[in-house]
Each structure stands twice: as C-alpha cells, then as structure tokens.
Structure 1
Amino acid sequence: MKILLWRGLINKSWEHCSVDERDSGFKIASEIVGNYEGETYMVNYLINTDNQWDIQDFEIRCDIQGEIKRFYGQKNGLDWLINGQIEPCFAGFNYIDISITPLTNTLPIKRLALNVNESKDINVIYIDILNGSIKPVRERYTKISKDHYRYENLESTFASAILIDRNGIVKTYPGHFELVA
C-alpha cells in the first residue's frame, strides 16, 4: 500500500490518499478536508481500477458545511451507470477527473503510458465536487519529458505543466497541488 499526502493550494485543502495494489487492480481511498469560499468541506472517495489503471467504479461523498452530496459511477461494458442510471453522454469513457484532487490526473498518466513528445486526447467524466456538477469533458495529456506532462482542458483555455515522481504520481501541479509525502 502506498500512502500519499497532497496539499491543495487553491482550496486550502489536505488530501490523505492510499493506493492499494491487489491481484485484480488498484483500490484507491482518499479523504480531503479544505475550505471553499469560506466554507469547510470534507470529501471521501473510493476508486477501483483494473491492472491497467482503467477505472471500474467510483464513489464520492462530499460534505460542505453539513450539505451532503454523493456521486457513484460504475462501468457497465462501454456504458456508465451514474448514480444508478445509464448516462449515454459518458459511453466509452475510461477516465474521471475529480476537481479537487491530482490523483485523477495520475490515472490517465499511468494508463496512457505516453512516450516523450506524444499526446493523447481523452474523454473524461468531470466531477466538479464543490459546485455539485458532473459532465463530459475532453482533455489532452502530452508527455514533455521523463517526469513532465502538459495537461490541457480542451473545453476551456486551461492548461498546466504537471511534474510526476518516479512512480508516475503527480508531484506538483503548479498553483493547485503539491505532494507533501
């Protein structure tokens, strides 16, 4: 089991995350506490992947000042059941992006296994925890060097360089997250 600790810079958060390797894949469990627009929040999430880091299911529980929100997703062939219903707009998606954690940037980096100067556009289920929304988004990852990637949200103008550690874990997401331990 690998234990990770990230500091969130924008939302003044701390994330304690465990990645447990199993025969069938990886079980990722995390707890995030932080402050968003003056309100304290706590988020717990669980993600199960196969051995190639392909997400099989996820569960997210968010408490913002006592208001509870839940998101649950399960892959069913090419379809996704989101909160118990098939959502056709996510058909064929392999990735999720949870807005308040760099862990969901780590997953495509590990799964894509890009070569230097190679790019890949992907479709993600984007989960904006603090605003309570879930939608399809197109993203691009480009491997710039052995330990640097460029992340781009193709739905907006947002782009950022991401530094990874020797295990492919996001180490620095400038202005957003820093791996502390």
Structure 2
Amino acid sequence: MEGGPYWVRYRLETGPRYVTRSLRVRVEGPGHAVRALELLPGDDDGRWTVNGRARAECDGALDYCDLGLCPLTNTVPARRHGLHLAREQGPGQQFLMARVAVPELTVTPSAQTYTPLGGHRVRKASGSFRSDVQFDAAGIVVDHPGLASTLPGDGSGS
C-alpha cells in the first residue's frame, strides 16, 4: 500500500488455553486494492494454511501467530504460559510464530523469545527487536512501547 493510508480489520479466534483457531485479516485503503488473508493452524501438527494453501515454511509454529503492529497477539503466549504473572525475572521461552506483516499480509516464520521480568512485564525479542511489554493482571497488553497503550479511564483496571 505504498505509503498511503490504510486500515486493518482482523478477527483472532482462540479456543481453550488460548490455542489459535483462526486469524482473519483485511487491509484496505483509498485507491488501493483490498487485501485479505485467512490463517489457519493445522490440527496439533504445527502446519499452517494461508488462504487455503499449505505454508511449509511456518511448519512447527504450532498455534502461535503474530499480527504485525497488533499488541493483542502478544497476549496469547503470555497468558498461556503465565509469563505476565512472574514475580521476578525468569528464563525466556522460545516460540516459533507465524508472523503476518501489515499492510502486505505476507506470512513468514518468526523465532521469538518471551522473558518474564516481573511486575506484569514481559520482554519480547526477535532478531534485533526488543520491547518490554506491560500486561495487566489478566494478561492483556496495556503498554507496548512505540506501538500501543491503553488510555487512562478506559476500564482496563490499570
């Protein structure tokens, strides 16, 4: 979408223990063609399909997805593994994610490490990228520096 404005609509469906069932994304903007993507994990085999086609390069990502510019998808591994509940810094956990770039909607494998820091903070790292993400007690992202934060009085309880 070549530098022009765009908006993203998405629907992330999870099941018990925050297992991803599907991620549907739609990107559109003035003067641009609409782009859509449906990302589905396989049945416990770590194989993903994108718009109905197998994506072997993302095999092994199990049921983790990471939507670019969206802090919500950081909630899934943090809640499933209770990383936001650690009282002090602990060992990092490595995850292979099926990462969806926006606005392009390309899907690539992304090795990511989530390290609990205590105080509802978790360090997310991938390659040279590092960010200390703040969660509330329920495991919802309330501050992802440089990306998003909740507003005071929004009902989040933080």
Corresponding residue of 2:111: 138
How far is the alpha carbon of 1:63 from its aligned partner? 0.4
* 2:42 alignment partner, one of 39, 59, 76: 76
Corresponding residue of 2:70: 101
Corresponding residue of 2:11: 46
Q: After the TM superposition, which segments of 4 or more aligned residues of structure 1 sit over 6 Å from their partners?
A: none
How far is the alpha carbon of 1:146 from its aligned partner? 3.3
8 Å Cα contact 2:39/2:51 also seen in 1: yes
Hey, what's the Cα distance between the residues in 1 that align with 2:10 and 2:35? 12
1:18-74, Cα deviation, whole Å (9 max, x unpaired): xxxxxxxxxxxxxxxxxx94x221211111111100101111111033321111111
Instruction: Note the residue ranges of structure 2 that are not aligned, 5 or more in a row.
Output: none
- Write the letter of the residue equivalent to 1:71: L
8 Å Cα contact 2:37/2:105 also seen in 1: no
Instruction: Note the residue ranges of structure 1 that are not aligned, 5 or more in a row.
Output: 1-35
RMSD: 1.6
What's the % identity of the aligned pairs? 22
* 1:171 alignment partner, one of 142, 148, 153: 142
Listed as ranges, the matches of 1:112-127 within 5 Å are 112-114=81-83, 115=86, 116=88, 117-127=90-100
Name the TM-score, length of structure 2 as normaliser.
0.83
Higher strand share: 1
1:62-119, Cα deviation, whole Å (9 max, x unpaired): 1033321111111222121111111112223121111121001111111122344131
